[in-house]
Amino acid sequence: MCGIIGYSGTANAVPKMMKGLSLLEYRGYDSVGLAAQVGDEVKLVKCKGRIGVLEEKLRDAPVEGSSCAIGHTRWATHGAPSDVNAHPHRVGGVTLVHNGIIENYKALAGALEAQGVVFASQTDTEVAAALIDACYRRTGDPVAAIRQATAHMRGAYAFGILFDGQKGRIYAVRRGSPLILAKGQDGYYIASDITALLPFTREYHAMDEGEIVCLSGQTATCYDEKGDTFTPVFQKTTLTPEAAQKGGYPHFMLKEIYEQPRAAAGCVSPRVNAAGLPDFSADGVDAAFLSGVRQVHIVACGSAVHAGYLGARFFEDIAGIPASVYIASEYRYHPPLSGEKTLVLVISQSGETADTLAALRYAKEKGLPTLAVVNAVETTIAREADRRVYTYAGPEIAVATTKGYCTQVAALWALAAAAGLANGHADADTARAVVKGLVEDAPAAMKTMLAQRDTFAAAAKGLADHEHVFYIGRGADYALAMEAALKLKEISYVHCEAYAAGELKHGTISLIEPGTPVLVLATDPALFEKTESNLREVRSRGAYVILLCREDAAVTADAADRVIRLPQTSPAATLFAALVAVQCIAYETAVFLGCDVDRPRNLAKSVTVE
């Protein structure tokens, strides 16, 4: 979602803004802008569209001689993408960029309009700028102005602010939306995440809720929620600048698909003990804790909730623990029955998804123990959950998740095995086999699939010009089908639905016409015959069928138009191989259709609004 960057120091600020903004592109955006202090003035350049448009504007009217600037990528919520709605917003002596949503902006705007303020944009952000400006005019003190103004705001925000008369200084504050302060050789920075700053520095401090920071070229002063100053502790990220580059691949998504064999093993290996058994005690999730869990609520959004559907099966099958899955934005509205031994397990790649965070906070309010499976370290969800298991996938830049989801599934599978071992539902051989499947078989199987990219490109061509595409599957394959369908539609814009294989005939089969593509996931030998019957139902109505099944599945020549065979070394090998296949099919379809693979329209990587 929206991205923030700011810099004050001795170097030229505008090129740093442009570089940082390009590294924020992955979050998803529809307009972009920057504000730079030049002498006593603030120069504002902003526009609807991509960074290329901003570059053109800067070529026509260069902004030079600035060493203090803020920049922003906007993902529209209040007010359509347009030049005027783009950030930064300037009101009176205040220029700011904002991530999040000010929920009571209408009431605040009404009060300000009554005092004569006229708004140019449709954004909640301009209202925030006007309110801070009013407080700044009253107090003459930026920190006091921020404290006064934010006391009236409801919602989530991270602001980077330039105040007139405060040369060389950027002020920042956050509540609900992430923001970091970072220290470089040539000055201080703010950013919504460290990825945007990797070319400049790796030392950062994750700002706390309600924290205010004032940074200049030489110093950074932090104020806690109460207004007391404190010295920030900087930590060093392990991410390298290369992590945010394509490394020779045409798209980040493809790079991240190829990273999966290593990522899956890298997620599980640190949680395998000398006996080859899953062991999460170093994550604070030890056998004593796991053996006390009687029920699991899995809560997440998007692909993470799809990982959750698989996770619930693992917990029930391997650990014998009843597990239910909830879409995070719904969790609070239908409070599910829970006991004190209900573990609320939230899953989030970014660690910042607003709905997941709200559900986590709700669970904590109810006194339930919480565990977060998170990729991005030191993020809000990771920090606020009682316990956290990092998936160690490394930075994921493509908006559509691949290795993030892959490692979530791997982590959940290993966690369920650890829980089964802890409560006695699984024996050591079962748990050891799960671990081996994830650390050895699945990576090898994924590599086998990645060696067959031509197959997926050929399959993709058959999907591109259809109005509807279906994925069907039973059991775990149905859960995987949901992710497969989402992947295809989010990046190629081809409409695709996932159906439990037995359910299609209860209505939706009416959409099957001659040639309608149906991709059948049939990876479980125990369910193969039943799924094959469902395949026949659509095939006899003319569907174009692509079957994904194990190497040993008995498939007659007339069963499918195309068969993609999957390694069968272990259940993990087959499932992860199928995952790579469906990801590659989505990728190749999007490439074939000329879509912006890494930055699909309207989507954001990290959804920080509810």
Q: Catalytic residue numbers? A: 2, 605
The single residue among 349, 380, 516, 569 that binds ligand G6P, judged by CB under 6 A, is 349
CB of 324 to ligand G6P, least distance (A): 18
The single residue among 82, 401, 569, 608 that binds ligand G6P, judged by CB under 6 A, is 401
Rule CB under 6 A: say whether 327 interacts with ligand G6P.
no
The strand pairing partners of 220, in sequence order, are 215
CB of 382 to ligand G6P, least distance (A): 11
CB of 158 to ligand G6P, least distance (A): 17
Rule CB under 6 A: say whether 301 interacts with ligand G6P.
yes
CA 290 to CA 271: how far, in whole Å? 14
Rule CB under 6 A: say whether 391 interacts with ligand G6P.
no
The single residue among 356, 391, 516, 534 that binds ligand G6P, judged by CB under 6 A, is 356
Our CB check for ligand G6P shows the closer of 33 and 308 to be 308
183 phi and psi, to 5 degrees? -115, 120
User: Residue 444 class from Cβ within 10 Å (0-12 exposed, 13-18 middle, 19+ buried)?
Assistant: middle
Rule CB under 6 A: say whether 310 interacts with ligand G6P.
no
The single residue among 299, 304, 345, 377 that binds ligand G6P, judged by CB under 6 A, is 304
The single residue among 95, 353, 531, 608 that binds ligand G6P, judged by CB under 6 A, is 353
Buried b (16+ CB within 10 A) or exposed e, 567-577: bbbbbbbbbbb
Buried b (16+ CB within 10 A) or exposed e, 382-396: bebbbbbbbbbbbbb
- Which of 293, 296, 297 is closest to 359 using CA atoms? 297
- Residues 498, 472 contacting (CB under 8 angstroms): yes
The single residue among 244, 399, 438, 481 that binds ligand G6P, judged by CB under 6 A, is 399
CB of 131 to ligand G6P, least distance (A): 30
CB of 362 to ligand G6P, least distance (A): 16
Rule CB under 6 A: say whether 603 interacts with ligand G6P.
yes
Stretch that binds ligand G6P, among 96-104, 193-201, 221-229, 299-307 (CB under 6 A): 299-307
- Which of 411, 403, 350 is closest to 378 using CA atoms? 350
* DSSP state letters, 552-607: T----TTS-SEEEEE--SSHHHHHHHHHHHHHHHHHHHHHHTT--TTS-TT--SS-
Our CB check for ligand G6P shows the closer of 407 and 516 to be 407
Our CB check for ligand G6P shows the closer of 260 and 568 to be 260
Rule CB under 6 A: say whether 607 interacts with ligand G6P.
yes
- Local structure of 11: helix, strand or coil: coil
Number of residues that bind ligand G6P (CB under 6 A): 16
Rule CB under 6 A: say whether 379 interacts with ligand G6P.
no
The conformation of residue 176, written as its DSSP 8-state character, comes to B
Our CB check for ligand G6P shows the closer of 422 and 604 to be 604
88 upstream amide cis, omega within 30 of 0 = yes
Stretch that binds ligand G6P, among 46-54, 237-245, 302-310, 455-463 (CB under 6 A): 302-310
CB of 357 to ligand G6P, least distance (A): 9
* Contacting residues for 328 by C-beta, under 8 A, at least 6 apart: 299, 300, 301, 305, 346, 353, 355, 356, 358, 359
| Residues lying near ligand G6P in the complex (CB under 6 A) | 301-304, 348-350, 353, 356, 399-401, 603, 605-607
